[in-house]
Amino acid sequence: MAPAWMPNFPMRMGAAGTLLMWMPVPGATEYKVLRKVGDGKWETVTTLAPNTYQDPAAPQDNDVSYKVVAIVAGKDGEESPVAVLKGLKPIDPPGNVVGRLGDKQLDLRWDVVGGASFYNLYKSASKEGPFQLVSSLQDTKYADTKIEDGKTYYYQVTSVSSSNQESKKPEAFSFKVEFPKVVVVKKFDPVRRKLKFIKKSHGEDFAEFYNPTDLSLSEGRIFVTDAKTVQVLDLQGEFLSRFSIVQEKVASQQWPSPVRVCVGPQGTLFMTFAQSPFIREISSEGRALLREIKVPAIPGSKLPCEPASVEVGPDGRLWVVDSQYGQVVVLPAGNNAPSNDEVVRLGWARGSDTPFTDKDFVMAGPVLIRYWKDKGLMCVADASRGEIVLINANTLKVEGKIGGFGAGLQQFSSIGDLVVFDPDSILVLDVLGKSVRRLALNGDYLDSFVDDDEKLNLQKPGSISRVLWDPKGRNLYVLSSFENQLYIYHVEG
């Protein structure tokens, strides 16, 4: 009698070849396995006693046919039915592997590959290898906690299809781990500028601030965003109105929580949202969605941009800090869906070794952008480097940097916020350094803001999240996400 194939056999086993299993034939002492590749000739690949065989030489990209002959009393019996395994189209490895340094871990992400059942992640301490399998996972992200400061790691991500076919290993993605150096600021005797405490505000009495994230000033009104709403206050901190953000829906999807807000030249609000590629322009009363602008991903990538901060340039273009790729993206004015051909990208994309233009520079963790109108500069706060990058808003060239990690009066241990104080100086909130300092364009330290009553409470690192300056009233507004309060101070002298 002819051997019969076991159900679902033969089957492909990826790099391990193919696995064959058939029903035992009574009286058979051995079995002869024959194989044909494509339209080639049949050849005997082995003769063996068990009713199973693993063929390591079976090609993945060509048709492979098998048949088995039972040998009974030294003679060949009937042949089994021919089993054909169709050649597989090679599956592609994931593209755009990027890494972002988190809290003592490296967060890796890559593009989705159509037809992939899971992904294999390999890691090495050398570009030449050897690469060790770290994880097999269905997700397109992985948090590597086994990293050390100052070391460079190399990663390869492959795709594996439902038939266990693994893609080729791509060129390794490298990442040098440089944890932010939290510098303990030494005691110094700064020039102190006295702040007079005026009052504090918690927003609307029956709907107080809930984890406030940002504030902006326009036409004598202060806009405070929190996790749910935007509240409008007067310059004395009195509640005027509020409108909901999270409850609004666009394209049948609920908006995520707002992160940053800036006021455009026409008085409208431009807002960014948590883990969203969209910037939304909203009327100052919050009654209408005027525009919804999607920031395009970098060419060839399926990972969305994540605008962390936005500012309006002098020509109406939007300047966007993209925290996903560590870039500044300049969007054309009036375009709701700009293509990559219409945007300008400044800064090397995180995870890329290739600059986009000759205007590129390196930023580790840009989080905030402000326009210094009198100087024609965009000020980009790079929290991971503790420095402020100054970019000419017209030429798009980097004209200088302020700060950097260190213990001096001109340096920072972190940057929480920055605002333009006057035509020649800016205020920088150093959260870990427990200070609000004023610096000149060339980076020289000028003075520090100090509240003798300690209501500013700089002794609690992280208690202050944002600052806002009103040059007409000479009031400093300090937002505390930790306390859900807005503090108002008058700057004397």
Can you list the positions of beta strands (E) in 125-265? 132-137, 141-144, 152-161, 173-176, 192-201, 203-204, 207-208, 214-218, 221-225, 229-234, 239-244, 249-250, 253-254, 258-263
The percent helix, strand, coil of the chain (3-state, each to 5) is 0, 50, 50
Would 3 be classed as within a structural domain? no
Decide the pairing of beta strands 307-312 and 318-322. Answer: antiparallel
**Whole-number average pLDDT of the chain:** 85
Q: Do 257 and 406 have their domain in common? A: yes
Q: Do 284 and 397 have their domain in common? A: yes
Confidence of residue 182 (pLDDT cuts 50, 70, 90): low
Instruction: Please report, for residues 127, 172, 176, 365, 480, the alpha-carbon distance to residue 179 in angstroms, rounded to integers and kept in the order given.
Output: 21, 22, 10, 11, 26
Q: Do 41 and 108 have their domain in common? A: no
- Residue 270's nearest CA partner among 327, 208, 336 is 336
- Residue 383's nearest CA partner among 414, 347, 339 is 414
Task: Give the whole-angstrom CA distance, residue 163 versus residue 158.
Answer: 14
pLDDT digits (tens, 9 = 90+) for 138-151: 999 999 999 998 89
Would 90 be classed as within a structural domain? no
pLDDT digits (tens, 9 = 90+) for 192-235: 777 888 888 988 888 888 888 889 988 889 999 887 788 899 99
Q: Do 163 and 264 have their domain in common? A: no
Q: Do 49 and 127 have their domain in common? A: no
Q: What is the 8-class DSSP label of residue 434? A: T
Q: Do 159 and 264 have their domain in common? A: no
Q: What is the 8-class DSSP label of residue 405? A: B
Would 136 be classed as within a structural domain? yes
Q: Tell me, what's the pLDDT at 186?
A: 46
Can you list the positions of beta strands (E) in 110-191? 116-124, 132-137, 141-144, 152-161, 173-176
- How many domains are contained in the chain? 3
User: Which backbone phi and psi does 373 adopt, to 5 degrees?
Assistant: -60, -45
- Report the pLDDT averaged over residues 354-366: 62
Q: Do 169 and 205 have their domain in common? A: no
Does 130 sit behind a cis peptide bond, omega within 30 degrees of 0 on the bond before it?
yes
pLDDT digits (tens, 9 = 90+) for 290-341: 888 999 888 777 778 889 899 999 999 999 998 888 889 999 988 888 888 8
pLDDT digits (tens, 9 = 90+) for 85-112: 988 778 889 988 888 887 788 989 898 8
Q: Do 311 and 398 have their domain in common? A: yes
- Residue 245's nearest CA partner among 270, 217, 277, 220 is 270
Structure tokens, 191? 């020039």
Instruction: Decide if pLDDT at 165 tops 90.
Output: no
Q: Do 218 and 128 have their domain in common? A: no
Would 293 be classed as within a structural domain? yes
Q: Do 108 and 52 have their domain in common? A: no
In this structure, what CATH number is given to the domain that contains residue 40?
A: 2.60.40.10
CB 15 within 8 A of CB 166: yes
In this structure, what CATH number is given to the domain that contains residue 390?
A: 2.120.10.30
Parent domain of 51 = 11-85
- Read off the pTM: 0.62
Q: What per-residue string of b and e applies to 309-322 under the rule 16 or more CB within 10 Å gives b? A: bbbbbeeebbbbbb
Domain end: 176, 209, 225, which one?
176
